[in-house]
Amino acid sequence: MTDGELNQFRESLLNWFRTYQRTLPWRSNRDPYRIWISEIMLQQTRVATVIPYYEKFLARFPNVKSLAEAPQDEVLRLWSGLGYYSRARNMQKAAQQIVAKHGGEFRHTREEVLALSGIGEYTAAAILSIAFDEQLAVLDGNVARVLARLGAIRGDLREPKRWRQLQLSADLLLAPESPGDWNQAMMELGATVCSPRSPQCLLCPVAQFCQGRRLGIAESLPEKRKKRATVAVQLMSVVLLDSNSNALLLPPPTATTKNKADDHVPSLVSKMWHFPTIAAPKASANALREFLQSELRMKKTASLKPELLTEVRHTVTYRAISVAAYLVRVKQLPKIAEAKSVSLLDTLALSISNLTRKIARNALHHLSARR
């Protein structure tokens, strides 16, 4: 592109963005805290899903200090349903770092922002450019797809060498006078016009500069990544219920509380309070009894009658996970350090994952149907 074309390209995209941008709650002002929360929530999550979570979260934690001081359980409860809970934990940790090191104020330098928990290159560039107009170009999957189509770039975009080249292209295109608007314009173009499956080139403000369109290959870009083969994983979860309708929950795994009972699977299932879970080649009542005996130290398991509640399927990266959930009624819950006994109904009010919630709901439904 000549300098003249580059200027025209920038002008076309910025004008389009300033005219047609969607009204989104985090665009109402340039508060770095609000931008930061939105960027973290939007990672791997659609805009429409994020909006109600964002509004509730901001209503409860309107600034860095309120987030830093909140009980972690409350932060996770407001996050519950968005998934990838490490994002919420890291965000709170970063809020505490900002309060402790910078008196609750966001710093303007890339290095200081990158030093915060859970903030990588993309998020740092997004916050600093949008809030403070720092000249940092964002590059995420959305922007990479637009760049690949504009430049007709083939191959796996996530290969480190190609990703670095894309970052250089993003840096070169960045409008130096308006980096915040520019980054948002690139992201908006990827989200609304240059969409993954069917780019709407007829509506595109920069179609005249697009090599992919000119060559007729825009829709086939970016080329598919080589997929890792899917691995099937079978798990069993058990709702142990005593005669007072209390269930046993195991804690989120940490270096000190990691429980032998399910130390090989919780990261696949949940990093929050969860029902005891094991991996088994095949779900069966016998395998479950063995687990209760060997790992939870329960006695006379032969007389227990596991009732199958539901089979839940979900996918974590390349693993296709199937979780068979059982209900086992016992007189007394086993004594396990760090575990807690909670009324089954009350588990729904805890910060638990969607999977654990689904199992608890199934157990409640199963019990009420038996009455």
- Residue 210 in the binding site for ligand SF4 (CB under 6 A): yes
Q: What character string, x for contact with ligand SF4 (CB under 6 A) and - otherwise, covers 175-194?
A: ------------------xx
Nearer to ligand SF4, 32 or 222 (CB): 222
d(CA 336, CA 334): 6
- CA-CA-CA-CA dihedral for 361, 363, 365, 371, to nearest 10: -150
Size of residue set near ligand SF4 by CB under 6 A: 15
- Residue 213 in the binding site for ligand SF4 (CB under 6 A): yes
Segment contacting ligand SF4 by CB under 6 A, of 58-66, 88-96, 211-219, 268-276: 211-219
* Region class of 83: left (phi > 0), else alpha (psi between -120 and 50), else beta: left
- Residue 199 in the binding site for ligand SF4 (CB under 6 A): yes
- Residue 88 in the binding site for ligand SF4 (CB under 6 A): no
Nearer to ligand SF4, 215 or 349 (CB): 215
Catalytic annotation, pick one of 5, 11, 39, 111: 39
- Residue 207 in the binding site for ligand SF4 (CB under 6 A): yes
Nearer to ligand SF4, 204 or 236 (CB): 204
- Check if 39 is active-site: yes
d(CA 124, CA 116): 9
Decide: 274 and 352 in contact? Cβ < 8 Å: yes
- Residue 174 in the binding site for ligand SF4 (CB under 6 A): no
- Residue 274 in the binding site for ligand SF4 (CB under 6 A): no
Segment contacting ligand SF4 by CB under 6 A, of 58-66, 76-84, 142-150, 329-337: 142-150
Nearer to ligand SF4, 179 or 212 (CB): 212
Min CB(205)–ligand SF4 separation in Å: 8
Six token digits for residue 327: 């209900």
Q: What element of type H or E holds 312?
A: strand 307-316
Nearer to ligand SF4, 140 or 262 (CB): 140
**Single residue of 148, 204, 238, 323 touching ligand SF4 by CB under 6 A:** 204
Distance of CA 29 to the CA centre of its chain: 24
Residues 28-87 that bind ligand SF4 (CB under 6 A): none
d(CA 67, CA 93): 9
Residue type at 291 in one-letter notation: F
d(CA 129, CA 56): 25
**Single residue of 218, 247, 288, 339 touching ligand SF4 by CB under 6 A:** 218
Q: What element of type H or E holds 316?
A: strand 307-316
DSSP, collapsed to helix, strand or coil, labels residue 115 as coil
d(CA 196, CA 220): 9
d(CA 272, CA 353): 7
Distance of CA 45 to CAs 182, 196, 247, Å?
Answer: 22, 15, 32
Q: Which residues bind ligand SF4 (CB under 6 A)?
A: 146, 149-150, 193-194, 199-201, 204, 206-207, 210, 212-213, 218
Residues with a known catalytic role? 39
